[in-house]
Amino acid sequence: MSLISRRPGLRVGLLLTPPMLWLGVAYLGALAALLVTSLWAQNDFTGNIERTWTLDNFRDLFTIEVYRTITLRTIGIATLVTVVDALLAFPIALFMAKVASPRYQRLLVIAVLMPLWASYLVKAYAWRGMLSSNGLVESIASPFGLGTPGYGLLATTMTLAYLWLPYMILPIYAGLERLPNSLFEASADLGAGSWTTLRRVVLPMVFPAFVAGSIFTFSLSMGDYIAVKIVGGTSQLLGNVVYDNQGAANNLPFAAAMATIPIVVMLAYLAAARRTGALEQL
Amino acid sequence: MPLVRLPAGLRVSVTVVTLVVLVVIYVPLLLVLLNSFNTDRTFGWPPPGYTTHWWSLAWHSEGARDALFTSVRVALAATAIALVLGTLAAMGLRRTRFFGRNVVSLLIILPIALPGIVTGLAFQNGFRTILGLQLSLWTIVIAHATFCIVTVFNNVQARFARLGGNFEQASMDLGAGPFTTFRLVTLPMLRSALLAGGLLSFGLSFDEIVVTQFTASSTDRTLPIWIFQNLFRPNAAPIVNCVAAALVLFSVIPIYLAQRLSGDAAEAMTGAR
């Protein structure tokens, strides 16, 4: 016991060993095994995995056009969802942090958090109902000569942006709350209009919070295969290819190869995010 | 805290956007609630009539009840593991600067920063192909605990940052050993942070579907899996709506508790995924 108090290094080591065994050995080990599996082959006749080294899966991934299209489409949708969420989240976060009274501030945080606890599936399904040809969107839009976009990529983007919006609002709110109010006044005193203050003072300071939120919105969209099944019609995203290959098609090595794409994209994203200091705000 | 006197134009536009988005956030949830009373099975708008029939069916649905208990069991087990590992990690990284500290933080974030399909497929492949194990409730628990650690870690770390180490130092100076200090000083100091982190972790696991689909055997049905299996069945969809509406209503309780416990809004939300 006294040994632990005298040797801080030993204490840290003992404390960190169990979580590091779990995350560093089990989780990272599983990720490494996934990369190894992506280099294995699939026997077309028996459906068994053959543990022989091959780059065939990656060759298919890069040469078969449909996979490239799906990859680019997935990255495009994830980017679009992130941008839409950032645009919607900023005014709300600003209202919560700097306009609402402390009482309302508390209520608003609850109001933004609550949808996160409602089942993800049911929210996506509610959008399916709203976007259907006899749904709410149609009955609101038809007087204006518009209609529901129907099921497809636009519906998928809308639904995903809806689902992940709280993940963007909360970090930006936390970031704005940390900004001293005097900053706004100083900027106004120095003659800046409200737009200039937002653009030149507030946005640069809360940028890491935007990045922190975008990690969630981007990553969650990148891996989605369920919302797109519910509202996407026949469109496919990267997640569908991974899911179908591990399940119905039973080609685990190819699913593993496909899954390396989001790993590489997210690691690059995290590396870039780290430079902005966003990871401390997660 | 005195509020900023934002210029009137900005104030108004920010308020309007907030109201509109809040309406958009809540309309789908209210629709779920309303549709649970809708006589039309396809949830057409406007509803042709109202009934409580679905609620009575949902109440007596054995599939829903079994799935609910399965989800609670999985979430409790995953949360218990996350509480232990998250607290240990936060204590280990406290007041220490060592090479690899950033690596440890990154490792804790990684399971929620990578998409669920990656984590799910990695565990499925690890369990089945590499280790040759059968998928079971335990494989779900292990995968869930992995991405739940961060919620506990964040809450505990924020509490440490706020309270500092003076109390523990005093306890040690007065002759208490590290374990006594942990039991009598550190743990009571962390209690509400652990509860808030635990609640978030429970909620995260309870609603998770992607990682769950990859790590569950064909007979394990958590509530999200049950919902997904029944969502497209015309006969079951109204029951699913009732279950969902009930979940939305009950979700107020954990959020309220987490808010109260952590006191700090920013702290209550960390890792809310």
Q: Search chain B and give the residue with CA nearest A37.
A: B125
Task: Classify burial at A227, counting beta carbons within 10 Å of its beta carbon; exposed 0-12, middle 13-18, buried 19 or more.
Answer: buried
- The ipTM, to two decimals, is 0.89
> Which pLDDT score, from 0 to 100, does residue A167 have?
92
pLDDT reading at B30 higher than 70: yes
CA distance B169 to B2: 36
> Which pLDDT score, from 0 to 100, does residue B175 have?
87
* pLDDT tens series, chain A, 282 aa: 456 666 777 888 888 889 999 998 999 999 999 999 998 888 777 777 777 888 888 888 888 999 999 999 999 999 999 999 999 999 999 999 988 888 888 888 888 888 887 788 888 988 988 888 877 888 888 888 787 788 999 999 999 999 999 999 999 999 998 888 888 888 888 888 888 888 888 999 999 999 999 999 999 999 999 999 999 988 899 999 999 888 766 788 999 999 999 999 999 999 998 888 777 766
At the fourth CATH level, the homologous superfamily of domain B61-269 is MetI-like (1.10.3720.10)
Q: Nearest to residue A93, comparing CAs of A164, A165, A169?
A: A169
Domain boundaries, chain B: 61-269
CA distance A45 to A260: 26
Give me the residues of B, 152-181, that contact A with CB < 8 A.
154, 172, 177-179
- A127 contact residues in B (CB cutoff 8 A): 28
CA distance B56 to A64: 51
> Which pLDDT score, from 0 to 100, does residue B265 have?
45
The 10s digit of each residue's pLDDT in B159-213 is: 888 888 888 888 888 988 888 888 898 898 898 889 888 988 998 899 899 999 9
Q: Which residues contact A44 (CB under 8 A, 6 or more apart)?
A: none
Q: Which two tokens stand for residue B77?
A: 């087990």
Burial of B235-257, coded b for 16+ CB within 10 Å and e otherwise, reads: ebbbbbbbbbbbbbeebeebbee
CA distance B260 to B267: 11
- Any idea which residue has 């743990």 for tokens? B187
Interface probe, candidates B97, B121, B262, chain A, greatest A C-beta count within 10 A: B121
Give me the residues of B, 230-269, that contact A with CB < 8 A.
231, 240-241, 244, 247-248, 251-252, 254-256, 259, 265-266, 268-269
Q: What is the mean pLDDT of residues B131-145?
A: 93
The 10s digit of each residue's pLDDT in A162-215 is: 999 999 999 999 999 888 888 888 888 888 888 888 888 899 999 999 999 999
CA distance A220 to A231: 16
- A277 contact residues in B (CB cutoff 8 A): none
Q: Which two tokens stand for residue B65?
A: 């009840």
Least confident piece of the model among A198-202, A241-245, B76-80, B92-96 = B92-96
> Which pLDDT score, from 0 to 100, does residue A221 have?
94
pLDDT reading at B97 higher than 80: no
Q: Search chain B and give the residue with CA nearest A87.
A: B17
- B223 contact residues in A (CB cutoff 8 A): 119
Q: Which residues contact A75 (CB under 8 A, 6 or more apart)?
A: A222, A265
Domain boundaries, chain A: 64-281
Q: Nearest to residue B270, comparing CAs of B124, B144, B154?
A: B154
Q: Search chain B and give the residue with CA nearest A12.
A: B92
CA distance A230 to B28: 15
Amino acid, res. B270:
T
Inter-chain touch B154–A263, beta carbons under 8 Å:
no
> Which pLDDT score, from 0 to 100, does residue A104 have?
87
CA distance A69 to A153: 13
Inter-chain touch B149–A2, beta carbons under 8 Å:
no
> Which pLDDT score, from 0 to 100, does residue B10 have?
82
> Which pLDDT score, from 0 to 100, does residue B60 have?
84
Angle at A120 between CA A253 and CA B44, to 5 degrees: 120
CATH topology of domain A64-281: MetI-like fold (1.10.3720)
- Confidence label for B245 from pLDDT (cuts 50, 70 and 90): confident
pLDDT reading at B266 higher than 80: no
Whether the CB of B15 is below 8 Å from some CB of chain A: the reply is yes
Burial of A113-143, coded b for 16+ CB within 10 Å and e otherwise, reads: bbbbbbbbbbbbbbbbbbbbeebbbbeeeee
